[in-house]
């Protein structure tokens, strides 16, 4: 493993420590005995709920096998753009944060089937969000105007 490969792992672990996440692998679906880098690269689900997170580190972009990302009950005010790099992402739970909008780039998530934005401060969803690709879209409890034209 070269220094550049280690750098992103160190960044991710330091970020996890900042939010008192003892071990990034403890909050994943990974229970194997693989080395840290291999285990992180194979992650398909990441649970970061209720951790007082307000942003995601750039290093998380290396987790290209993520299919499920749980970010509910945090302090996120701006949609983390790094999420748009996860081509395999099928489930995004970003409920109960402080988001005010869903950016256009969400359309790049072609595999996305489930989107939960319940309990945010979003009041408008533009027509670029293609609800026909989603199997489930949760925005209960929000006064959201949806542009369907």
* pLDDT at residue number 2: 42
Q: pTM of this prediction? A: 0.80
Q: What is the mean pLDDT of each run of 10 residues along the chain (149 residues)?
A: 59 74 54 65 86 90 91 95 94 94 86 90 71 65 54
Domains defined along the chain, listed by start: 3-146 (3.80.10.10)
Q: How far apart are CA 128 and CA 72, in angstroms?
A: 23
Task: Give pLDDT tens digits for 37-55.
Answer: 777 788 888 888 898 999 9
* pLDDT at residue number 3: 44
Q: How many CB atoms lie within 10 A of CB 89?
A: 24
Q: How far apart are CA 34 and CA 25, in angstroms?
A: 11
Q: How many CB atoms lie within 10 A of CB 24?
A: 22
């Amino acid at each position: 493993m070269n220094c550049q490969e280690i750098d992103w792992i160190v960044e991710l672990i330091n970020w996890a420590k900042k939010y008192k996440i003892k071990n990034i692998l403890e909050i994943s679906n990974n229970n194997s005995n693989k080395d840290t880098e291999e285990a992180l690269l194979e992650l398909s689900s990441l649970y970061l709920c209720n951790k007082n997170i307000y942003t995601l580190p750039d290093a998380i972009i290396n987790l290209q096998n993520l299919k499920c990302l749980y970010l509910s009950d945090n302090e996120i005010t701006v949609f983390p753009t790094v999420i748009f790099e996860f081509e395999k992402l099928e489930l995004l739970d970003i409920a109960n944060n402080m988001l005010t909008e869903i950016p256009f780039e969400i359309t790049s998530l072609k595999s996305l089937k489930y989107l939960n934005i319940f309990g945010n401060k979003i009041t408008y969803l533009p027509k670029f969000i293609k609800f026909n690709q989603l199997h489930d879209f949760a925005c209960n409890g929000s006064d959201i105007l949806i542009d369907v034209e």
